[in-house]
Amino acid sequence: MSLNSIFQFLVPKDKKFYPLFEEAANKIKLLSETLNEAVNLPANEREKLLKEVEVLKSEIEQIVQTTRLELERNFITPFDREDINSLMTAVDEVADNLSDAASRMRFYHIDKVTKPLRKLTEANLEACNEVAKCIYYIKDMKNLKAITEGCKVILRLERKADKVFDKAVADIFENETNVIEIIKYKEVMDALESATDSCRRVANVLETITVKYS
């Protein structure tokens, strides 16, 4: 058992880090829901929600920065500080990639949302919901099995997104003759596929944490 783990038994229940974890979980869930709602709206109604995605990304970035400041200020942490930093960094990466997808949709004036693009957004919505649930579960470390199962779902969704992405890219190059359109759609899908990769990195960190506490 690490020195940090021993001290956890001797100090009051953490009131600094878990609220930050849960706030980040709530924000990443809301961000993915907002992006998913945006791609299911007509083009002329999408702009407001895409901008909201970018705002939520900035809010998550602030939560991550606050967490890092707390790591510098506090000797005792609820679990290993490197795992806390890795977890929040991975969540921040998810937000960055989803925000990139939203920004590219706006800047490139993506009017038609293709089926693969919508599927990738849905995969991220499901993965972010699992990320949020798993982060809630780390509060008391009493439901490690639920975290493990949630991580399995995230990995399955990441593999599903990879297959959708590969097929979509192949279809674009086969059926689209406008090079500019190819570049625009591929860049949006790149960001969405990267977001599911980042969800997988969150799952990897969570699995590391559960192994240490099992």
Nearest to 92 by CA among 199, 191, 19: 199
| pLDDT score, position 141 | 76
Burial of 92 (0-12, 13-18, 19+ CB in 10 A): buried
Nearest to 34 by CA among 101, 111, 107, 88: 101
Span 163-174, pLDDT tens digits:
999 988 888 888
Q: How many domains does the chain have?
A: 1
Is 74 within a domain? yes
Give dist(CA 117, CA 123) in Å, integer: 10
Mean pLDDT of 179-189: 90
Q: Which domain holds residue 193?
A: 15-213
Is 5 within a domain? no
Is 145 within a domain? yes
Span 123-149, pLDDT tens digits:
999 999 999 999 999 887 778 899 999
Q: What is the 3-state secondary structure (H, E, C) of 131-184?
A: HHHHHHHCCCCCCHHHHHHHHHHHHHHHHHHHHHHHHHHHHHHHHCCCHHHHHH
Is 2 within a domain? no
Is 4 within a domain? no
CATH code assigned at 191: 1.20.58.220
Span 81-125, pLDDT tens digits:
999 999 999 999 999 999 999 999 999 999 888 899 999 999 999
Is 87 within a domain? yes
Is 6 within a domain? no
Is 73 within a domain? yes
| Maximum C-alpha span of the chain | 66
